[in-house]
Amino acid sequence: MIRVPTLFLDVKRCKKNIEKMAAKAKRHGIEFRPHAKTHQSLEISKWFKEVGVTKLTVSSLKMAEYFSEEWIDITVAFPTNILEIQTINKLAKKIQLNLCVENIEVLEFLNDHLEHPLGIFLKIDTGYNRTGIAVDNYKLINTLLLKMSEQKFLTFKGFLAHAGHSYKCRSKEAIEAVHQKSKEQLLLLKNQFKDQYPNLIISLGDTPGCSVSENFSGIDEIRPGNFVFYDLTQNIIGSNDLNEIAVAMACPIVAKHLNRNEIVIYGGGIHFSKDRIEDPENGVVFGRIVEKKGESWGRCVPKMFLKSLSQEHGIVSVPKAIIDDYKIGDLLWILPVHSCMAADLMKELHTADGEVFSMM
């Protein structure tokens, strides 16, 4: 019995999301190296093995350590943190570890401290402007390639980008445009360096682009992560339908305020995170309420949404006509705005069968 906020996983939807993305990668003849930061679960990572996946992406060395129990080829898609050199050496000894580098300081540090071979991706910025080498900064790229060629433990693997500016899109067409622009920029790079490095990989990966596009020509590898669960953010961007969202939080109703058509739930920022979307219809939204249906959940209840969050309280706006359908002690089922953050906070995923998947 559910007594406190609990994050539920719809296993069927999740496996369908995995199969769909794996099929797309296969159809286009590209490597599928899924990002594990959303599910952070060894168990769920095994579902990727079932569809032929052999390589993983993670966002921290801690996560790489966790997944190295099961996976032997892991890319850390985060700028290398040189303070964790001990962990890097430990992992580089155990598995095929690939790191992201974007400056000379890190290469020099690795040269001085590495004890085992590593793969290096140069992190490229195709317009997101979070981090990475500007895609046209050939001078820096050449400097780094030269430096790498002198270092015995470093193997240049290719160019890696995250087109995170796709998160600003609000339609499939806009996502496709960002995806194609990033792809074209990376292919220019590939053409420039392929004679020198014939095996170089172009690795691109964001859930919006990988969900929407059917044009990956020239791309060697994709690394989407969020698609495993999807969420309201991805839906508003245009990546997925609401019925593909594979996680929902069950929250007890603890109070009702009929005068303002609000329900108070046990479920706050420490469960959902404070991530929000701006919904054209409802304004700031922290989650949407779905109908409970069999072992899963059905459609979103129109105009019923999580309007604010404190540490443990959530305030749900409810249409006047249906507020009497909900009683104190009932559970509300809520789609999260950002499934990566909600899963990271909850630390475990429950299924309708009573199974519990522990996370990192």
Residues that bind a copy of itself (CB under 8 A): 1-4, 37, 59-60, 62, 78-84, 86-87, 102-103, 105-106, 109, 129-131, 134, 164, 252, 254-257, 259-260, 264, 266, 269-270, 273-275, 308, 310-313, 315, 327-329, 340-341, 344-345
Q: How far is the CB of 27 from a copy of itself (least distance, A)?
A: 29
Return d(Cα 265, Cα 313) in angstroms, integer. 6
Q: How far is the CB of 292 from a copy of itself (least distance, A)?
A: 15
Return d(Cα 55, Cα 75) in angstroms, integer. 8
Instruction: Reduce the DSSP state of residue 297 to 3 states and report it.
Output: strand
**Identity of the residue, 131 or 171, whose beta carbon is nearer to a copy of itself in the bound complex:** 131
Give 51-97 as a DSSP string. TT---EEESSHHHHHHHTTT-SEEEEEEE--GGGHHHHHHHHHHSEE
**Identity of the residue, 109 or 172, whose beta carbon is nearer to a copy of itself in the bound complex:** 109
User: Based on the number of CB atoms within 10 Å of its own CB, is 344 exposed (0-12), middle (13-18) or buried (19 or more)?
Assistant: middle
Q: How far is the CB of 331 from a copy of itself (least distance, A)?
A: 8
Return d(Cα 311, Cα 327) in angstroms, integer. 23
**Identity of the residue, 72 or 328, whose beta carbon is nearer to a copy of itself in the bound complex:** 328
Q: How far is the CB of 126 from a copy of itself (least distance, A)?
A: 15
**Identity of the residue, 217 or 311, whose beta carbon is nearer to a copy of itself in the bound complex:** 311
Q: How far is the CB of 198 from a copy of itself (least distance, A)?
A: 29
The amino acid that residue 250 corresponds to is: A
**Identity of the residue, 217 or 259, whose beta carbon is nearer to a copy of itself in the bound complex:** 259
Return d(Cα 88, Cα 119) in angstroms, integer. 12
